[in-house]
């Protein structure tokens, strides 16, 4: 009887060991698969230039359904992507371009109180686009920058480019140079407004651009302002509003915001925001429908606020 009991005990240990080995093997397979599907990872310093790292994909974001064709949510604190969808596609980025325009302009350290005029040269020559700015209007460089960022005013961006040392061509060259410095290898700029559909990037590259732009106090201030009024022709007051309605929503804590749209790019939105006490960078590209990008942003907010596992890494949607 004792011999039978010993045999049963030994068999139990063998089965347990085999099961443990199988679990270790399965874990290795999961980790290998995660490493093969790794995404962006930032350097430890917040808002530093991101670099590619192997980041295990541990969970699937099955509960988050976004309508944007391209989406990326990046957790700045944990340095991990929470969600990614078609993030390596090179696509037109429309007026998201103006974040780079603003950074290059601010890097030039030109006086913000200097007068900048709207001229015939600032009329949109690439495509027809609405603008409330009229030829002959004079604003300060700071006001032009604010309108370009907050209201996505194309003529303001063109006037800024014309006032840049060397003109628009020099500014575009500086924009591409800065993109290379930031490691935005799949990004190209051909104009300072984003009206040119050849201005292209990826969601991964735009995370890098948003992270860099967040370090500029004026970009933070201007992109999160709800409205701004200027004096137009004949002393008429002109009021401009932020193209992102979320900046007027008290439930949002937004540190940077920029929208964009041309037909080739669809509706676009990038933001840096604190959600559930976690700073994240959100990139939404190629959305369709009047409020699709805003709806996606709100879906992200609800999804993060409902999560009780801060710091988890979520995979491809």
- The string of pLDDT tens digits covering residues 260-278 is 999 999 999 999 999 999 9
Give the catalytic positions in this structure.
Answer: 95, 98, 152
What pLDDT is attached to residue 267? Answer: 97
pLDDT tops 60 at residue 250: yes
* pLDDT digits 0-9 by tens, 27-78: 333 323 332 333 344 333 344 444 434 333 324 455 899 999 999 999 999 8
Give the pLDDT of residue 178: 98
Architecture of domain 70-306 in CATH? Answer: 3-Layer(aba) Sandwich (3.40)
Q: What percent of the chain has pLDDT over 70?
A: 75
- Whether the per-residue pLDDT at 187 is higher than 80: the answer is yes
Average pLDDT of the segment spanning 285-289: 92
pLDDT value at position 40? 41
Predicted TM-score (pTM) of the model is: 0.79
Q: Where are the domains of the chain?
A: 70-306
Burial class (CB in 10 A: 0-12, 13-18, 19+), 47: buried
- Give me the mean pLDDT over the 274-301 stretch: 94
Q: Report d(CA 30, CA 27) in Å as an integer.
A: 5
pLDDT at 43: 38
| 119-135 confidence digits (pLDDT tens) | 888 776 666 667 888 88
């Amino acid at each position: 009887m004792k011999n039978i009991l010993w045999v049963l005990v030994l068999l139990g240990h063998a089965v347990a060991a085999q099961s443990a080995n199988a679990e270790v093997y399965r874990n290795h397979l999961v980790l290998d698969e995660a490493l093969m599907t790794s995404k962006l990872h930032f350097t430890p310093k917040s808002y530093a230039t991101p670099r590619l790292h192997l980041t295990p994909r541990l969970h699937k974001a099955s509960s988050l359904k976004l309508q944007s064709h391209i989406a990326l949510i990046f957790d700045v604190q944990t340095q991990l992507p929470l969600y990614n969808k078609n993030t390596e596609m090179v696509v037109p980025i429309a007026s998201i371009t103006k974040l780079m325009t603003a950074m290059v302009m601010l890097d030039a350290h030109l006086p913000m109180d200097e007068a900048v005029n709207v001229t015939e040269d600032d009329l949109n020559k690439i495509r027809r686009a609405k603008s409330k700015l009229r030829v002959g209007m004079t604003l300060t460089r700071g006001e032009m920058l604010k309108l370009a960022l907050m209201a996505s005013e194309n003529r303001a961006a063109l006037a800024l480019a014309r006032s840049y040392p060397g003109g628009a061509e020099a500014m575009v060259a500086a924009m591409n140079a800065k993109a290379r410095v930031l490691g935005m290898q799949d990004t190209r700029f051909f104009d300072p407004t984003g009206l040119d559909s050849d201005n292209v990037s990826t969601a991964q590259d735009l995370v890098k651009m948003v992270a860099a732009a967040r370090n500029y106090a004026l970009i933070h201030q201007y992109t999160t302002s709800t409205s701004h009024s200027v004096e137009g022709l004949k002393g008429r007051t002109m009021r401009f509003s932020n193209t992102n309605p979320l900046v007027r929503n008290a439930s949002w804590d937004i540190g940077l915001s920029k929208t964009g749209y041309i037909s080739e790019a669809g509706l676009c939105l990038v933001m840096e925001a604190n959600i559930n006490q976690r700073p994240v960078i959100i990139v939404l590209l190629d959305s369709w429908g009047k409020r699709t990008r805003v709806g996606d942003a709100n879906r992200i907010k609800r999804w993060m606020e409902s999560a009780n596992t801060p710091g988890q890494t979520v995979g491809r949607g």
